[in-house]
A and B are shown apart, each in its own frame.
Chain A
């Protein structure tokens, strides 16, 4: 089956907005992504250094004492994201193994940069108390001032460096 085209971004946006609205209506909070990675990290840390997790206030919030870091709303939500993405991709015939990059670089180079970029993004997300999902999207919808500042900073940082890294993409 040939891959179908993506939906209209406005249609996808309304769908995403209704999911976000449902999240606020049912749970009182929005969506997230990077927090679940934090939970996963704390889960591993807890296996090797349980004392450290208990003593560090920030880590304890995720998995101190009897709390299982993986029994967390955002962790379950993120597993759902994988399933939902797979369903959408399968329905549109888009499920395949691929590496997305510009024509001027190799696959290997793209993977190296993916790891570097991912690490930076994860670090930045901890500093800003959330990523594009938890802060820019969810915080944006409740008009949090800090969320909008972080959203603008994300775009500013990316646009400022876009020229330097243009060969990765174009």
Chain B
């Protein structure tokens, strides 16, 4: 298992930040491609008129998930080193509901 690469090869801060910048470019590129630059398009999901958010988000989740399972099966990626968001039930629920309110009011 040689991945996550950053942990195996102990990147310097500068390299790590550069990687962050490059990954960010990919992130922004595909968000814009999918139409996430348009707040009305995003908000229309709440009126069942445009389900782009669901399609993009769940396709992305399944793609990344499948990739990680394969990389682990190939013996490349150590899943124990992957960050898994800890569960804090009530803050997660209340924070989520507030974000949802903000999403439909603000559009993003």
Contact = CB atoms under 8 A, between A and B. Distances in A.
Contact of B96 (A113, A143, A153): A153
Contacts of A158: 46, 100-101, 103-104
Interface in B11-63: 13, 16-35, 37-41, 43-44, 46-47, 49, 51-52, 55-63
A80 B100 contact: no
Contact of B57 (A13, A28, A76): A13
A166 interface: yes
Contacts of A22: 23, 26
Given A13-B56, A157-B96, A121 B103 contact: yes
B20 to A, nearest CB: 4
Nearest to B68: A24
Contacts of A94: 32, 37
Given A117-B106, A146-B92, A81 B24 contact: yes
B75 interface: no
B34 A162 contact: no
Interface stretch (A42-50, A55-63, A85-93): A85-93
28 contacts: A9-B35, A19-B26, A24-B68, A25-B3, A28-B6, A29-B83, A31-B27, A71-B17, A73-B20, A80-B26, A81-B28, A84-B28, A87-B25, A89-B32, A92-B32, A118-B108, A124-B99, A129-B91, A135-B85, A141-B60, A146-B86, A149-B93, A150-B92, A153-B94, A154-B99, A159-B46, A159-B104, A169-B46
